[in-house]
Amino acid sequence: STIVGTGEGGKITKEDVVLAISLQAAAPGAPPAPPKSVPFTGMRKAIADNMHASLQNSAQLTLMTEVDVTEMVHFRNLLREEYKKDESARISYNDIIIYTVARVLKRFPYMNSTLVGEEILLHDRVDIGIAVALPDGLIVPKVRNADRKGILQIGREAREVAGKAREGALSMDEVTDGTFTVSNMSMLCVDGFTPIINPPEVAILGVGRVVEKPGVKNGRIEVRSYMTLSLTIDHRVVDGAPGGEFLQSLARYLEQPALLNA
């Protein structure tokens, strides 16, 4: 409890422990070193200000649902097998979700809107932001016109902007004027969470990990794949019922990806 971690996010590393033991051996009973001070400035401060303003200036409500994504998993595996010789076509679950979200948004225009001053702007374009974690914060590059692009193209563009985000090479156009955001925390083994809206957007989708567990299919218990989706909406613009309908429709297409082309 007296060791100050120097690892990512304040984690205590092996080196921290070794140093603490050596200091204690050299000066038994000496008071612990003061905590390391990190300036609350730059990207971290900007993110804090934006998130606090988002919560202060909107009425946020989060809806959650568990989705049977067994068919989505099969669909992803089929695509990977089909394009296994093309590394640029290595499709992820997130690519499929972005593809599906973009098409469902066209049926729910208020979910694809922004609130600017006293106006709700309903957009024809679907520009989906992808939350990308960086060592010192978070940035949200956009996949433009996602509703007009196939899964392979979305996958390539998503990887491209995520790579540029980690390299600090994004242009202003690539991080502004989105209409909806997807935040995926599956790589951190998170199931469900309450994502915070990226203003002036009015909704954000949180994506949890895919887990296998017993489920009932046609009256029989079998191993199925499940995912938790968390949709946060600005209740000033979108009520709970249409938000729930959007989430229900999204879940339906993730459960049966073949329906997207019907």
Residue whose tokens read 């076509």: 89
Is 74 in the active site?
no
Task: At 191, list the tokens.
Answer: 């199931």
Annotated catalytic residue, options 49, 86, 136, 239: 239
Q: Mapping DSSP to helix (H, G, I), strand (E, B) and coil, where does residue 32 land?
A: coil
How many CA atoms, within 13 angstroms, populate the side-chain half-sphere of residue 163? 7
Annotated catalytic residue, options 16, 177, 191, 235: 235
Cα-flanking dihedrals φ and ψ of residue 129, to 5°? -85, 145
Ordered DSSP codes for 112-144: GEEEETTEEEE-SS--EEE-EEETTEEE--EET
Task: At 86, list the tokens.
Answer: 């093309």
Distance CA 193, CA 131 (A): 14
Is 235 in the active site?
yes
Distance CA 149, CA 107 (A): 17
Question: If 0-12 CB within 10 Å is exposed, 13-18 middle and 19+ buried, where does residue 113 land?
Answer: buried
The set of catalytic residues is: 235, 239
